[in-house]
Amino acid sequence: DRKIKIAPSILSADFANFGQEIQAIEAQGADWVHVDVMDGHFVPNLTFGPQAVKSFRPHVKTVMDVHLMIAPVDPYIDAYADAGADVLTAHIEAGPHIHRTLQAIRAADMKAGVALNPGTPAEAIEHLLDLTDLVCVMTVNPGFGGQKFIDMTAKVRRLRTMIGDRPIHIEIDGGVDPTTAPLLSAAGADVLVAGSAVFRGGSVSQPEIYGENIKNI
Q: Which residue has its beta carbon closest to ligand DX5?
A: 195
Residues 162 and 160: their CA atoms lie apart, in Å, by 5
Asked whether position 175 contacts ligand DX5 by CB under 6 A, the answer is yes
Longest dimension (CA), the chain: 47
Q: Are 97 and 72 in contact (CB under 8 A)?
A: no
Pick 107 or 149: Cβ nearer ligand DX5: 149
Q: How far is the CB of 165 from ligand DX5 (least distance, A)?
A: 28
- Contacting residue, 8, 24, 50, 67, with Zn ion by CB under 5 A: 67
Which residue type occupies 34?
Answer: H
| 173 in catalytic set | yes
> Cis omega before residue 72 (within 30°)?
yes
Asked whether position 9 contacts ligand DX5 by CB under 6 A, the answer is yes
Helix ranges restricted to H, the chain? 18-27, 50-56, 77-83, 98-107, 153-163, 181-187, 196-199, 207-216
Q: What three-state secondary structure class fits 89?
A: strand
Asked whether position 155 contacts ligand DX5 by CB under 6 A, the answer is no
Out of 1, 31, 36, 133, which one is annotated catalytic?
Answer: 36
Asked whether position 197 contacts ligand DX5 by CB under 6 A, the answer is yes
- Catalytic residue ranges: 36, 173
Q: Which residues bind ligand DX5 (CB under 6 A)?
A: 9, 11-12, 34, 36, 67, 140, 142-147, 173-176, 193-197
